[in-house]
Amino acid sequence: MTARAATDRPIELVEAGPFRYRIEARGAMRVPGIVYASAALLPDVAEDASLRQVADVATLPGIVRASFAMPDVHWGYGFPIGGVAATDVAAGGVVSPGGVGFDISCGVRLLTSTLARADVEARRADLMDALDRGIPRGMGPGGVWSVGPDELRSVLTRGAAYAVERGFGTEEDLEHTEGRGTVAAADADEVGPRALARGAAQVGSLGSGNHFLEVQVVEAVLDPATASVFGLHEGQVCVMIHCGSRGLGHQICQDHVTRMLGAMARHGITVPDRQLACAPVESAEGRAYLGAMAAAANYGRANRQLLTHATREAFAAATGHRDLRLCYDVSHNLAALERHEVDGRERLLCVHRKGATRALPPGHPELPGPYRATGQPVIVPGSMGTASYVLAGVAGNEAFSSACHGAGRVMSRHAARRRIGGRELARELESSGVAVRSHSWRGLAEEAPFAYKDVDEVVRACEGAGLARVVARLVPIGVVKA
């Protein structure tokens, strides 16, 4: 059931340190809200609904420490995008599909090459045409791999590991993917028939909206020692891929929100917004969602793995080079069971990260061997036509080792289309040195750079707040969109 709490009162932000603002707990809030931002990024207290969502998330049963908002925070479904919240499983902590979002395991991977910018300039049009032909994208069906029911089930249970086993990648790819490409707790039996039908025809596809494939160049290295470990150097050509679990993940979210809405009264749970529908982690509904979510996460990781294979094929055809190595693949829409110390005691927590990426510190046992000395690569794409960043995880991150995931929208898609047309935007990007391959002028206009926050400022706030440190800045020379 839902009921409005005392959080209906105006939100008040108090500056609580560098790049850190606090919403004091009141009414039904069980913990405070913490917003990481600079003065330039701070949402409008009176008009921005994302701050209300930060406060509403703080009412969830079992939530600990705080309801966190990353510097790229903006309004989302239930949770703000850029929201992080952890619940204590043993204390009746809940899992909420709204804390993951519709595009389960949406994430980013960065591929590095042995090519320099000069190596691809003369062949850039051929390369972009090859990527245009080889990268399936858009709202409808079509993917790199046409799978049958048994193969789809293997994708859901084994993720990128199954794609690699079938010849779509390398062992090194798995070493540089979260969880070696597989979420072990996946339960394909909890994925409904409609979700299966939507997912079967989209394995290995980019999707639409803010998803993209970008050919980029490392413009600047800010931390040479860490960049060397990550395989990055100035002038190097890289590829960034941003996509998720497509229609399958969207349907899973819909199905399990509906199920939890029907179960909250039985569990004695009241939330201030229906979009925060939730259930205890250890309940039948909670376990069912986590199993289905993990299956969608495996789908998302396999999806990016297959797009990596297609990218390598396009590079080979256009440049003669297919040696693209995976720097790292990280999800930014997921709920994970993790152990963290809270109030001096280690606890099992359900950590929701929605539009937020893990940023594991140096020494973390889940990191690949070379990255244990540096901290986890944190990949932060900018808006189309602007810079992107690679950061590294640091010790002492209070937000359960989480960081920003991108630039963050400030303008609706409709407003962006009113301001510029897709053809005009393509001409502007081309004149600035960014080759564009898009199936939809309307979709291109919706993702105009001015519709997003300044990624340079977002990253500055992220580093200033002690969430991660900057390693390298990359700029695009080509973009593939739906």
Residues whose CB falls within 8 Å of the CB of residue 266, separated by 6 or more in sequence, listed in order: none
Distance set, CA 257 to CA 56, 195, 275, 284, 388 (Å): 17, 14, 8, 14, 33
Q: Are 439 and 471 in contact (CB under 8 A)?
A: no
For residue 467, which of 77, 73, 98 has the smallest C-alpha distance?
Answer: 73
What would the two tokens of residue 382 be?
A: 């900018």
In 117-235, the DSSP E strands lie at: 212-221
- Could you confirm whether 267 is annotated as catalytic? no
* CA separation for the pair 71, 80 (Å, rounded): 11
Closest alpha carbon to 429 in 445, 411, 407: 445
| β-bridge mates for residue 110, sequence order | 240, 328
Structure tokens at 50: 């994302």
3-state secondary structure of 155: helix
Residue 122, token pair as written in the block: 């003369």
What is the CA 13 to chain-centroid distance, rounded?
26
Amino acid at 36: Y
Structure tokens at 319: 């440049």
CA-CA distance, 408 to 199, in Å (whole number)? Answer: 27
- DSSP tag of 187: -
Q: Which of 256, 405, 414, 439 is catalytic?
A: 405
CA separation for the pair 349, 347 (Å, rounded): 6
Catalytic residues: 405
